Amino acid sequence: MSFENLPLLVLLLLSVLGNNQSVAIAAGLLLILKLLGLNALFPIIESKGISIGITILTFAILAPLATGRITLGNILSAFKSPITLIALASGIFVAWTAGRGLLFINASPEIVTSLVLGTVFGVCFLQGIAIGPLIAGGLVSLVVAFTNLIK
């Protein structure tokens, strides 16, 4: 194994030690693809991976609607209590922030390494989840916009 595989191996080790199955599976699969010489798949993963991942995540989030665990009554009750209104506003804000993050990442690809490293540390050591780079990118874009506003 060459030194170019070392970052994935370190991620795999950290994720196993940090008990984070998602990062372990991702790093392990990427390492296997690399070792098998299937490098032609990486541009496809890079260009379509986020979209496919978000679709799968949305599929899982909407599943309770399909099973009937979340009903129309549950949805309507989201507008009745202060906590559910805060949850609704938080969901809107985070989705909007993640959207800004995707735009920011596409416009400033040099920031991706820092976002990914921060997310990996958060996932491995703080029981976070790997959706972090999009939200982190959105927060960075908000900070950049704010600092440009006060200059």
Band (37; pLDDT cuts 50, 70, 90)? very high
Instruction: Report which DSSP code applies to 80.
Output: T
> What are the start-end ranges of the H helices in 18-81?
21-35, 41-67, 72-77
Q: How far apart are CA 115 and CA 92, in angstroms?
A: 22
The yes-or-no verdict on residue 86 having pLDDT over 80 is yes
Give me 93's structure tokens.
């804000």
Average of per-residue pLDDT values in the chain: 83
- Structure confidence at residue 132 (pLDDT): 66
pLDDT at 2: 64
**What is the rounded CA–CA span in Å between residue 140 and residue 146?**
10
Cβ-in-10-Å burial (0-12, 13-18, 19+) of 75 comes to exposed
